[in-house]
Amino acid sequence: MEIRHEDLIGTFEQKKKLVSQFTLFDDTFFSVIMQDKDTAEYVLRLCTDIPDLKLISSNIQKAVRNLVGRSVTLDFLAVDSNGKVFNIEVQNADDKKYFGPKRSRYHQAVIDASLAPKNIDFDKLPELYVIFITPFNPLKKYGRNKIAYYKKSYLDGIEWDNEVHEIYLNAEVKDGSALSEMLQYFKTADPNDDRFGPLSKSVRKYKYVDEEVNNMCRAVEEYAKERERIAVEETAKKAAEEMAQKSARIVDSLLKKGFPLKEALEMAEIDEETYNNHKTA
């Protein structure tokens, strides 16, 4: 469900009705629910099959910034008592076209660049779990029919462990396991379903308790604003990049016509450093 600011403006009953429609595949709702430590540990233990997993912090950053200043909003990011980092992203069915291997690659790069101190030894990078949860089976078209898929890195057929664990979970396939049952619950987030311990408790709290409904709306609005801010920032950066490329092409054209570089730069309204970064030749 796409959540807009205007959806969060209205009477309390209107807000409550909106919140009642959220599922755990709505990333904004999921992010708020996972701020509860017990809930986050419960979900992570099932997703990773690490029964004794203990978190020291959850949602350590809703938005992280990498070395070149690009932002990404993460649904959930946490560190456990052993220093392992966990990222969970929920994928709405409407966004299937944006799901794929390169999304995982981008998330890994941003997390590593944001959390690792400068000049860190590579072998001291934290162990990382990147978990995608989808309502659809991502490998269905290849004839695969599992609720969980695990990716490993290989070098010439030999396992090449970079301590990045990619886990893909889906709620389309059912196998009767505890994990599968929880993934089915993601589709409903039924506040009357109490089978899932802290997760059920958090969902019920944010859908039934009046004060928490208001808190949820405020948290969701802040989260939505952050996503919109990043979208605007990315649009502005893209526009600036396209303008720089266009100006660099103008300089190239003027240089071919015999204009001195300084004059060509002035005519194209671009500085020399930007031109050098974007020139075609």
Residues 6+ apart with CB under 8 A from 40: 34, 55, 58, 59, 76, 78
- For 191-247, the pLDDT digits (tens) are 999 999 999 999 998 887 766 666 666 666 666 676 677 677 778 888 888 888 888
**More confident position, 272 or 12:** 272
The answer to whether 29 and 36 are in contact (CB under 8 A) is: no
Which one of 97-106, 160-169, 173-182, 221-230 scores highest in mean pLDDT? 173-182
**pTM of the shown model:** 0.73
Q: Where along the chain do its domains lie?
A: 5-208, 241-278
The answer to which of 175-179, 214-218, 251-255 has the lowest mean pLDDT is 214-218
Radius of gyration of the chain, Cα coordinates, nearest whole angstrom: 23
Angle between helices 37-48 and 197-208 (to 10 degrees): 140
pLDDT score of 5 more than 50: no
| Rounded Cα distance, 13 and 4, in Å | 17
The predicted structure's pLDDT at residue 143: 96
**Range list of β-strands (E), 145-232:** 148-151, 154-155, 158-159, 164-170
Please name the residues in contact with 257: beta carbons below 8 A apart, sequence gap of 6 or more: none
Q: Are 47 and 88 in contact (CB under 8 A)?
A: yes
Q: What is the mean pLDDT of the chain?
A: 83
Please indicate whether residue 85 or residue 27 has the higher confidence score (pLDDT): 85
CA distances from 161 to 45, 125, 153, 154 (A): 22, 13, 6, 8
Which amino acid makes up residue 61?
Q
Triad 117, 66, 129: Cα angle to 5°: 75
- Pairing label, strands 148-151, 164-170: antiparallel
**If phi over 0 gives left and psi between -120 and 50 gives alpha, with beta otherwise, what is residue 272?**
alpha
Band of the pLDDT at 270, cuts 50, 70, 90? confident
The 10s digit of each residue's pLDDT in 57-112 is 776 655 565 544 556 678 899 999 999 999 999 987 655 666 778 888 888 888 88
pLDDT of 61: 57
